[in-house]
Amino acid sequence: MEQTFIILKPSTIQRGLVGDVLTRFQRKGLIIAGIKMMRLSEEILKEHYAHLVERPFFPSLLKSMMATPVIVAVLRGKDVVNVVRAMTGATNCRVAAPGTIRGDFGMSGQENIIHASDSPENAEIEVKRFFSPDEIFDYVPLTLPATYAPDEL
């Protein structure tokens, strides 16, 4: 089954929203294949946000992402990359649709609660960037046959 990678950003830790955000993914029927707390280094952030390093807001983004440890997780499910991006919502929380995580929990463009991989290719790269193979678990939740039709599995 497809995997995606998420970061619960420092603003989410600071504001006590970790449970609320994770609950949404669990209620949706996604499998948590890996989860841990870690501090992000400048080095890993420059790699992860390579597409933004030249932007004027990058120093502020770096500082924000290093303000506290973060929670990183690998979620598994059918078409999970697109499902999680849709649940995440637009980058700026003030524009993100109500019902999305950013739309419901935030007010900022930078402090926008969560990172989620934007393509299956990037998801694979990001999972490898933040997790070692022994930190990701293969198991079949008992709820799986009630979550999908047989031909979807």
Q: Looking at the annotation, which residues are catalytic?
A: 115
Nearer to ligand IDP, 52 or 67 (CB): 52
Dist CA 94 CA 92 (whole Å): 5
Of 70-78, 105-113, 130-138, 143-151: span binding ligand IDP (CB under 6 A):
105-113
Query: Which pair of structure tokens corresponds to residue 138?
Result: 């293969």
Q: Which of 97, 83, 101 is nearest to 29 (CA)?
A: 83
CB of 46 to ligand IDP, least distance (A): 13
Please report whether residue 68 would count as binding ligand IDP according to CB under 6 A.
Answer: no
Please report whether residue 120 would count as binding ligand IDP according to CB under 6 A.
Answer: no
Answer for which of 1, 35, 61, 125 binds ligand IDP (CB under 6 A) is 61
CB of 40 to ligand IDP, least distance (A): 13
CA dihedral 87, 27, 25, 147 (to 10 degrees): -90
8 Å CB contact between 123 and 3:
yes
Answer for which of 52, 66, 67, 136 binds ligand IDP (CB under 6 A) is 52
Using CB under 6 A as the criterion, what x/- string covers residues 2-31 for binding ligand IDP? ------------------------------
Helices 18-28 and 80-88 meet at what angle, rounded to 10? 140
Using alpha carbons, list the distances in angstroms from residue 83 to 4, 20, 28, 131: 10, 17, 9, 21
Tokens 């973060």, residue located: 70
CB of 31 to ligand IDP, least distance (A): 22
The residues that touch ligand IDP, with contacts defined as CB under 6 A, are 49, 52, 57, 61, 91, 109-110, 112, 115, 118
